[in-house]
Amino acid sequence: MGTAFTCSTHLYAHQFLQLLMLLLLLPLRNVSDMHVKAQLSSSFYETSCPTVATVVEDVVRQAVEAEARMAASLLRLHFHDCFVHGCDGSVLLDDTATVIGEKTAPPNNNSIRGLEVVDEIKSAVEAVCYGTVSCADILALAAKASVVQVGGPSWMVLLGRRDATSPATIAEVSAALPSPFSDMPTIISSFAALGLNVEDTVALSGGHTIGQARCVTFKPRLYNFSGTGAPDPTIDPDFLASLQGTCPEDGDANTLQSLDVTTPDTFDIGYYNNLQINKGLLLSDQELISDGNTTSLAALYASNESAFFLAFAQSMVNMGNISPLTGSDGEIRLNCHVINSA
Ligand code: HEM
Ligand SMILES: *[C@@H]1O[C@H](CO)[C@@H](O)[C@H](O)[C@H]1NC(C)=O
Ligand SMILES: *[C@@H]1O[C@H](CO)[C@@H](O)[C@H](O)[C@H]1NC(C)=O
Ligand SMILES: *[C@@H]1O[C@H](CO)[C@@H](O)[C@H](O)[C@H]1NC(C)=O
Ligand SMILES: *[C@@H]1O[C@H](CO)[C@@H](O)[C@H](O)[C@H]1NC(C)=O
């Protein structure tokens, strides 16, 4: 009797502790776990291609030394790959006569860059580990190597993605990729649709601390904001004048402007500091400081580089976890431009 009592008390205590731990751990679990089919792993190529990360880093270093903007272009490729149909290398597939796919969909056409560097990386990787490393994993490794190369944080890249055998359609690309003209609730919901939360949204927007954007992506803010016939009243007046000089109303839509106007080639908190003084370039950037869900995180990252770097690294892992093909799904493409059976 006494023993049974002690035993069941012990059991209760044990179960109670388990429940308590579960409750404590639940909020820490990232929602993007729900989208993971099988677990990616940082040691995936440990025996099959132990030098893959070094090979990628070497090519990225040379490319970024030759042109600083390449770091930005490679980071964005991984983002565009992951947001459309998951991180499956589909953004790299060339259009065929029958399929007009991701590469030429409006957000990518005349916009994504770095494809020739990805080809260089793929050749270098194939030379040491033939038919082993996916194009999707190359994009994930190149994104991290790029961020590190321009002064940003490092993180453990999870690997084991396989490549898609078909591109996404234009409609799927436009539906999945956030628009620079969207307000913050719309941006937040496009991240949420992929299992990424508000913190991921604010941290990953910090990718705009490097790289360039074409006039066409922010021109309405300069001349006819939301159909008002006037500029966006929130833009800093000096910054507005400078942007109007770079992008005249009837000027070239493809003229480039730095996303981070102060330190465009360095991965730092310049982007968030510019937002604080109304010098954000895209509407989707500037709204981070005025939306109630994002104001305080944007202010935190503007004041604390370690907080931003930690959050960005974690959110890159979360983004890299979006719907990967694993196991025997998909394939290891030999040429990132075409599926193997083509
Ligand atoms: C929050 C939603 C986002 C919107 C609306 C957005 C929109 C844009 C736009 C319009 C451009 C310029 C494209 C052009 O001129 O053709 C751009 C560039 C860029 N984006 Fe984003 N983006 C977003 C999120 C992200 C994320 C999550 C990352 C990566 C973590 C990222 C990284 C970049 C980089 C690095 C560039 C510059 C690329 C280069 O210079 O080649 N963006 N983005
Ligand atoms: C992509 O851009 C080129 C011109 O640069 C244009 O001819 C082509 O129609 C565009 N493709 C799509 C699918 O919009
Ligand atoms: C501004 O845009 C609105 C709707 O988009 C349009 O009706 C209006 O004519 C434009 N105004 C100017 C001054 O271009
Ligand atoms: C956060 O976003 C949700 C959904 O758009 C909205 O209902 C809520 O009011 C926002 N909270 C704040 C503090 O702005
Ligand atoms: C900055 O953020 C880091 C990481 O979250 C934290 O450890 C540190 O205490 C913060 N520093 C300040 C001054 O708040």
Q: Is residue 96 marked as binding?
A: no
Please choose from 224, 225, 228 the residue to mutate so as to test ligand 3's pocket, defined by most ligand atoms within 8 A of CB.
224
Return the pLDDT at 76: 98
Which residues are 137's β-sheet partners? none
Q: Is residue 173 marked as binding?
A: no
- Whether 80 is a known active-site residue: answer yes
Dihedral pair phi/psi, residue 39, rounded to 5°: -75, 130
Q: Indicate the pTM of the whole model.
A: 0.91
**Which atom of ligand 1 is the closest one to the Cα of 112?**
41
Where exactly are the structural domains of the chain? 52-176, 197-316
Q: Closest Cα to atom 9, ligand 2: which residue?
A: 104
Find the Cα–Cα–Cα–Cα dihedral 8, 12, 18, 20, rounded to 10°: -170
Averaged in consecutive runs of 10 residues, what is the pLDDT profile of the chain (342 residues)? 38 44 43 55 98 98 98 98 97 85 92 98 98 98 99 98 93 96 98 98 99 98 97 98 98 98 98 98 98 98 98 98 97 97 88
Q: Closest Cα to atom 4, ligand 2: which residue?
A: 110
Rounded (5°) CA angle 201-204-208? 120
CA 219 to centroid of ligand 3, rounded, Å: 13
For 197-316, CATH gives: 1.10.420.10
For 52-176, CATH gives: 1.10.520.10
Active-site residue identified among 35, 78, 80, 85: 80
Q: What six digits make up the tokens of 190?
A: 């496009």
CA 304 to centroid of ligand 5, rounded, Å: 6
Q: If we measure between CA atoms, which residue out of 308, 215, 324 comes closest to residue 299?
A: 308
d(CA 43, CA 274): 38
CA 293 to centroid of ligand 4, rounded, Å: 6
Q: Closest Cα to atom 10, ligand 4: which residue?
A: 293
Return the pLDDT at 61: 98
Q: If we measure between CA atoms, which residue out of 242, 258, 247, 237 comes closest to residue 216?
A: 247
